[in-house]
Chains A and B, each alone.
Chain A
Amino acid sequence: QQQVKQSPQSLIVQKGGISIINCAYENTAFDYFPWYQQFPGKGPALLIAIRPDVSEKKEGRFTISFNKSAKQFSLHIMDSQPGDSATYFCAARRGGATNKLIFGTGTLLAVQP
């Protein structure tokens, strides 16, 4: 119940295309769902986050779609650019005494010019 399942493991998209990464969870106690971007040799950087009372959140080219009933959420990267090539992690936080994040296994995105 503590897992966050992420797919696909890797993704190749042409420049200008749409990148879509999906995550699923089981624990309904999760109350915060961030997406992180990580470049090689760097720590994860927050891209965008959503709470379960919202079905969609958009920030620039990045959109989170959230389906509470299906316990699924996804990241859409519009107009993908070569500079977006990185590993993307979804995560979930369980409400409670700690701000512990449970991460998915990551998606390696390659945007081809």
Chain B
Amino acid sequence: DAGVTQSPTHLIKTRGQHVTLRCSPISGHKSVSWYQQVLGQGPQFIFQYYEKEERGRGNFPDRFSARQFPNYSSELNVNALLLGDSALYLCASSPDRPLSTDTQYFGPGTRLTVL
């Protein structure tokens, strides 16, 4: 089975632009989470979605938004990009409800560079 897939792999944007990152979870997984990993640091939680509803939000500004589609894929949108948004954006999927401690499986990430 295919793992979590993310697109694009790399992206270069300039300050003030917006970006959309995409994630396809493992087949059968209904929960998708997004994390930001700045170079040299651990991933930081941004959002979790389950059954198309937001179930958790981290400490990120309103410039960050996300949604989940009926097929459980997800998009992360970032508006008005800042230099500090440069990071590896990771998507993770898990099988079941947010209340469970199901393993989260991470995709390879999208490397975003803001110039």
Contact = CB atoms under 8 A, between A and B. Distances in A.
Interface of A: 6, 31-32, 34, 36, 41-46, 49, 51, 89, 91, 93, 96-106
Interface stretch (B60-68, B69-77, B79-87, B97-105): B97-105
A100 B90 CA distance: 13
Interface residues of B, number: 29
Contacts, number: 69
A45 B108 CA distance: 10
B48 interface: yes
B103 A34 contact: yes
Contacts of B22: none
B52 to A, nearest CB: 15
B100 A100 contact: no
A46 B107 contact: no
